[in-house]
Structures are given as C-alpha cells and as structure tokens.
Structure 1
Amino acid sequence: MISSALFSWSSHGVFTFLTVTSIANFDYQKLVKITDYSYVENRKYKEGKYILHDVIEAGNFKIDAEDDVLNDTGIDVINSFVLPTQSREIPVWAIFLVYSSFPDNGMDYVEESFFINALIGSTQANRHGYLKVSFFEYMEGDKSFLHFVRMSREAFKKGDEYWGYRFLAYALHYLEDLMQPYHVRPGTVPELIQFIFDQRIRVMLRNAHSAYDDYMTFLLYKSKNRYDFMQAIKDAQPIVLPVSDEQLIYEAIVYSYSTFFDIHEEVKKAFGKILYERRIKMEDFEQAEREGKLERLYELTKKLASTLASLVKGIVLSNVPM
C-alpha cells in the first residue's frame, strides 16, 4: 500500500488509520451503513473524478491484508472487515483508511491560481496548499479543509454517519497536507526568486518537496525507526483547541510554516546534489539513514507528525457525535 503523489503528504490513508485507531474510547470498529450521496456542494470538481459510490463495496478498492502497518496495529483486517451484501455496513476505520487519501485522486484539478499555474503548471496544488504573500492568498487548502468539515457536520446532523465520516476523512487529508511544510512554504526567499529564472532551482525545490512527501512512507515502512515513529503517532494525545475552525486551520498553517526552515535545511543536507538531478528514491533514504544523515530530520518529523496526530484526534473527537 505504499503510494506517493506530487503535492501530497504520502501515505495519508495509513497515517490517518494509525491516528484514529489510537484514540482512546473512540469506537473505530463500529459498523455504519453505506448510504447514497444526497448533498449539494458549492464546489466544483474535475469531471468524473469526484466519486460518489463506495469504492470498497463496488470492488474498486482492495484493502491489503498483508500491509505491514495494518498488521502491526493488531486489527484483524480480514476477519473484522466483512461487508455484508444486504446490510451494506462498513467499519469506521475502513472509511478513514480509504477516503483520507481520496482528494489526491485528481478531483481537485480545477480552479487553478494563475500565479501557481504560471510557476508550476497544471496541478491540484491550489486546493492542497496555502501561500500568502502580503495581503494576497494564492492557494485554498484552508478552504478545502473548512468545506469538508462543514459537510461532515451536516451529514452527522441529519443522522448520516457514513457520509459524516467520509467527509471528515476528506477534511483530514487537507489538514495533513497543510501540516506538510512544503505545502505552505515552497522555498526560502532567495530560492523562490531564483525559481522564476533558474531551471535547476525549480528541479531542486520540486524534488525536495516530493522527498519530504515520500519520507513519511519511508518512516512507516522502511526506516529503522518505523516502530518508534508509529508509537509516537499512537501515543499522541488529542488536542482540542477552543477556537473556531478557521482559527484552528490557521494555527496549523502557522505551525507548519515555522518548521519549514529546519526541515528544508536537513533535506538539502541529506540529499545534496541528487535533488538537482532526480526524485529521491527509497534506496536513497535507506543509504542516507545508514550514513547517519537523517537523524535530525527524523526528530523534527516525529515531533511534527505527533503534533499532527494530536490535532487529527482532537478534530475527530470534536466532530463525531458520541
């Protein structure tokens, strides 16, 4: 189940799964009935990409029972995940596992920012990041999060648990993206100035961004620190901020932004000239770890992931009716 995509914090599904299944007194094993989509959204999606049926029920998505991370949780994926053909029920953990990665399926290749389009071409970045220069905002990741939190609450309010959880899984995806520092700060000021004129800098920044995306996958599946990293996610205590949703996502963005400079420096130290040549591969992470080049990056990332897990747990507890 290892996956990655440009402008995505890789392994959304597994990270969210680990987080929600480690919330104390949260019934993630609960079965909820699959319901048909019956909502009106003031938001456009790429035609054919905003899927409304349940992909597991339709056989379009298979949960990998051999996945190392899923097995390490102790949840019996095969025996606990039985989808009755008549009752159409699905466990809560499966909704978070599957649908927290869904916004990366191409549905957001719409409403692009002219500024971002001019710099990096056609991407879904406009809805998955946040960039503010002076009084001007160039991305809408915060609005994406807020939209799906509102949709989740609307669904729960009318008793539709399936779409309540599914919309919430979508919302968590955007929170996770905004807590990936490259989504809110793509480079230093000198690098961003050079970005416009220098192809090498453009390649380096894109590869640094994708490297940090893929580092999450490496930590969950390949790193010598994988069990320590997963335990940090599980041990994270819920943070419930007494603020509005708008202030919450703003605080998440500010925190993410504050981590950028140290993380970016460590990524450049670890991979150097490779960043100017190609995307970082899993074997590059393995070699850098063997050589001791990832030690500080790991500590910075573990702290960031733990904070993110705490926010995710708090948002779930604040939005799911108990």
Structure 2
Amino acid sequence: MKSLTLVFLVLMVISLFSWSGHEGLTYYIVKDIVPDELVKITPYNYQEKRVYNLSKLVLEDVCGKDTIKAWDGAIIPPNPAPVNGKVPAWQILTVYSSEPDWGMDQGLDLSPYQFLIGNSQGVRHMKYRILGLEFFEADKSFYYFHDLSKEAFRKGDRYWGYRFLARALHYIEDLSQPYHNTPGELGEIFRALFDHSITRMLMNAHYVYDDYLAYLIYSGDEETIKTIENAKPVFLKSEWHLVQEIRKLALSYFPKVHREIKKVFGEKLKERKGKLESFTVISVEEFKEADERGDLSNLKRYTLELIGKTASYLKGYLIDFLKAVRTF
C-alpha cells in the first residue's frame, strides 16, 4: 500500500492527454479499407450508462467544420461538408477519432483515486502498469464504444455506428502511446517524489511524444504516411487480444522512445512549462531543426515501427468488425 501511495503522489501532478494527430493517423489507416459508403447523418438517440461532461459533449454533426488545430502549412486530412445530409464512412471515422479529446471526459467524478492524477480525462485515456499493478480504464473505454458501435449498426443506424467506432479507435490508439501505459522508468517515478524537475520532465516527455506523431503526420512526412498506408492487416482472435497486443507493443517501445526523447531534448524537458503556440513543449520549428540535424533519426525509426505495427492491428480489427456488422 505504501508503494501505491508513492506512485500516486508522483502521478497527481502529471496531467496526461493523448496522441496528437488522431485524425491523421486514423485517416491513413481507414481510407483504403473502409467501404466506399455515403452515410446519412442521423440524430443521437441512445440511452447510455456512461457519464459525460455535458457542457463539452458534442452530439450534432461537425463534418466539414474546423475540428483540427494545427500550424500554418500543416497537411491535414480532407474534411468536406456533408452533401444532401450524407458523409462518407471514412470521414466519420477520421473526424470523430479525436472526439474524446474535445472535453467529454473532463471534469467528471469517475474514480475515488482520480484526485491523485488531477483529472478525469486521464482515468479514461490511460492504462498504467506499475509494480505489477494496473490503474485506469482506457481499455474499458475502448470496449464500451466497440459494443455501442455494434448496437448502433444492429439498429441500422450506420452514422452512429461509425461515430461510436471512431471513439473506440481513439482509445485503442491512446493505448498504443507508450506514455499511456507507464509515466516513466520506475526509478524516475520515485525520484520525482523529491525532485519536481523530474516530475516536469516526465510530463513534458509525454507531451513531446504526443506532438511528435502530429509533427510527422501533418508535416506530410512521406515515410510516415507510407508506413501507415502500407501496413498489412494483422488479425487477432478478439478485441481483448487486440488490447493486450497493443499494450504489450507500446510498453516494449517505452524504454527506447523515452531514452531518445531525453537525449534529444534534455534540459528543455525539465525547464519548460508547456505554453508554446504550436505544440505543448517543443515547437514545430524546433522539431524541424532537430530533424535536419539528424537528432531524431532513432526516435523516428522507433515511432514508425510502433505506428506501423499499430496500424496493422487496427486494420485487421476494422476489417473483421465491419465484416461482422455487415450481417446485421
């Protein structure tokens, strides 16, 4: 119990979010495997047990509107306005893959332990494994929307079927982010109890890796995009197996990713407070400069390996899922 308390004391000052670039990652995963289908926009009509922040929950359709925050010159996925009340299936998945980050999981009372991490967003978007123990419920978030999507398709409501599926993709993509599975090395977690600069470093390292994926995708990096597009589907037995494989994959890359982020950005991780215009800790310009110097070569290699394998798992999942709901 003492170890648990020490861990939570560190986590309470780390407000964690999710991969940046959900829309771009999802777009390049789904665009060639989702049926070429125009879907009629339908109103929300569901009785849910899940609690949301109703002041930030969006239930109307926002396809065709500006939902992506990016820097000038960023290459973002297409987002055309609906035509005759219909939108393509790929667009629903792309646009709403970022929906859980719009605030619907914020400001809630979800867990007696959430005061220790400072927010309810982290409760639903992470699944920490520390000292053999597990905390939080990103996996449950994925299962919830997987099941709700099936329910919508079963009712013949294909719009909300795809929209709930987009939310499910968000949470499983979050689980592919190494820092969503552990906040740092075990020694760093305990050192952070006595050194606030370590706490800030862990928080900022997470932010940097979130933003690095967005930098690669929205810069139009050809190697990154081809890695996602060319990933071959990998089929697993169930969504439970998908969660386990994604988490195992993310944790396996954590030591390498964490080492590279500390090596490249060093003291900036301990000093900065996260108030930059473009990204949270490292600006687009700084990413570009580090890229041009070759400092990011290892980090990019690890990230493309991770994202390529993640894309393979998610393509297999989507193909199986959409095949199943076609029978409803």
Does the alignment reach a TM-score above 0.5?
A: yes
Alpha-carbon offset, residue 95 of structure 1: 0.4
Distance 2:145 2:60 in 1: 17
Match of 1:261 among 241, 255, 259: 255
Matched, 1:197 2:191: no
Which residue in 1 is equivalent to 2:115?
A: 117
Question: Compared with structure 1, are the counterparts of its residues 123 and 41 closer, same or farther at alpha carbon in structure 2 (3 Å cutoff)?
Answer: closer
Aligned to 1:300: 302
Count of equivalent residues? 299
Residue type of the alignment partner of 2:192 = F
Q: Which residue in the other structure is 2:282 paired with? A: 280
Note closer, same or farther for the CA distance 1:296–1:193 as it changes in structure 2 (3 Å cut). same
Q: TM-score, normalised by structure 1?
A: 0.86
1:314 equivalent among 308, 313, 316: 316
CA distance in 1, matches of 2:67, 2:231: 29
- Cα distance in 1 between the residues matched to 2:61 and 2:101: 16
TM-score, length-normalised on structure 2? 0.84
Report matched runs for 1:59-70 at 5 Å.
Answer: 68-70=75-77
One of 23, 32, 42 as aligned partner of 2:39 = 32
Superposition deviation, residue 184 in structure 1 = 0.3
SS in 2 for 1:220: helix
How much has 1:196 moved relative to structure 2?
2.5
Deviation at 1:67, TM superposition (A): 6.0
Separation in structure 1 between the aligned mates of residue 66 and residue 157 of structure 2, nearest angstrom? 23
CA contact (8 A) 1:18 1:234 kept: yes
Once the two structures are TM-superposed, the CA of residue 194 in structure 1 deviates from its matched residue by: 1.6
Quote the offset at 1:246 in angstroms: 2.1
Between the aligned partners of 1:63 and 1:115, the Cα distance in structure 2 is 31
Per the alignment, in what secondary structure is the counterpart of residue 159 of structure 1? coil
1:12 corresponds to 2:9: no
1:216 aligns with 2:207: no
One of 147, 159, 164 as aligned partner of 1:162: 159
Q: CA deviation at 1:308?
A: 1.3
Q: CA deviation at 1:213?
A: 0.3
Task: Note the aligned Cα RMSD (angstroms).
Answer: 2.3
Q: Where does residue 107 of structure 1 map in the other structure?
A: 104
Percent identical residues: 41
1:252 to 241, 246, 252: 246
Measure how far apart 1:313 and its partner are.
1.2
Q: Please list every run of 5 or more consecutive structure 1 residues that lacks an aligned counterpart in the other structure.
A: 72-76
**Runs of 4 or more off by more than 6 Å in structure 1?**
none
- In structure 1, give the amino acid aligned to 2:303: T
Aligned mates of 2:68, 2:121 — CA distance in 1: 25
User: Is 1:116–1:138's contact at 8 Å kept on the other side of the alignment?
Assistant: no
Which residue type is aligned with residue 260 of structure 1?
Answer: F
Counterpart Cα distance in 2 of 1:195 and 1:112 = 26
CA distance in 2, matches of 1:115, 1:263: 28
What is the rounded CA distance, in whole Å, between the counterparts of 2:132 and 2:206 in structure 1?
25
Equivalent in the alignment of 1:45: 52
**Cα separation, 2, equivalents of 1:62 and 1:181:** 23
Structure 2: distance between partners of 1:114 and 1:131: 16
Please point out which of 224, 228, 233 is paired with 1:229: 224
CA distance in 1 between partners of 2:132 and 2:268 (Å): 36
Are residues 1:151 and 2:153 paired? no
CA distance in 1, matches of 2:145, 2:75: 30
Cα deviations across residues 97-131 of structure 1 (Å, max 9, x unaligned)?
Answer: 2100000011112244454532x422511100101
Taking a change above 3 Å as real, the CA distance of residues 60 and 302 of structure 1, as seen in their structure-2 partners, is closer
Secondary structure, in 3 states, of the residue corresponding to 1:196?
coil
CA deviation map 1:39-93 (0-9, x unaligned): 2222111122222221238x675999x962437xxxxx65xx5421xxx211112
Q: Deviations over 1:213-252 (max 9, x none)?
A: 00011111337xx10110110000111102x322321221
Aligned partner of 2:9 in structure 1 is none
